[in-house]
């Protein structure tokens, strides 16, 4: 499995930029720091999170959003539900650390 781990520092990345980068690197999974997400991502009313998620699904690229989002979760029941549902699947995960992403990917690899 080819995992593309993006640096915390850098510009905000639009979904199309992420897809292009992942395809160029032949990545199966992108580890995307929360600092690289567009403004409004964690406010589900903006539709930004849905735009990202739809692109990832369309191109069959798995994404782990990495970072502490507890402040956002405290403010939004809808976001908590979205994150919980996403974390049950295989396409989009929200995990606080890269180490937790690594553990989850290792578990996934063992199942295959």
Q: How confident is the model at residue 43 (pLDDT cuts 50, 70, 90)?
A: very high
**Structural domain contains residue 32:** yes
pLDDT above 90 (res 112): no
Of 69-73, 82-86, 104-108, least confident by mean pLDDT is 104-108
pLDDT above 90: percentage of residues in the chain: 93
pTM tops 0.95: no
Q: What distance in Å separates the CA atoms of residue 29 and residue 7, rounded to the nearest whole number?
A: 14
**Structural domain contains residue 70:** yes
| Containing structural domain, residue 65 | 3-107
- Domains in the chain, number: 1
**Structural domain contains residue 112:** no
**Structural domain contains residue 69:** yes
Cα-Cα-Cα-Cα dihedral sign, residues 39, 41, 45, 51:
positive
* Mean pLDDT across the chain: 94
R_g over Cα of the chain: 13
């Amino acid at each position: 499995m080819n995992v593309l781990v993006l640096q915390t520092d850098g510009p905000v990345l639009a979904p199309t930029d992420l897809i292009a980068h992942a395809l160029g690197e032949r990545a199966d999974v992108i580890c995307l720091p929360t600092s690289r997400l567009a403004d409004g991502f964690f406010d589900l009313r903006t539709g930004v999170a849905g735009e990202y998620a739809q692109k990832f699904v369309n191109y069959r690229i798995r994404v782990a959003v990495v970072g502490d989002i507890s402040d956002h979760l405290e403010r939004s029941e809808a976001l908590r539900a979205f994150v919980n549902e996403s974390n049950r699947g295989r396409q989009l995960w929200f995990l606080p650390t890269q180490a937790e992403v690594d553990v989850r990917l290792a578990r996934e690899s063992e199942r295959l």
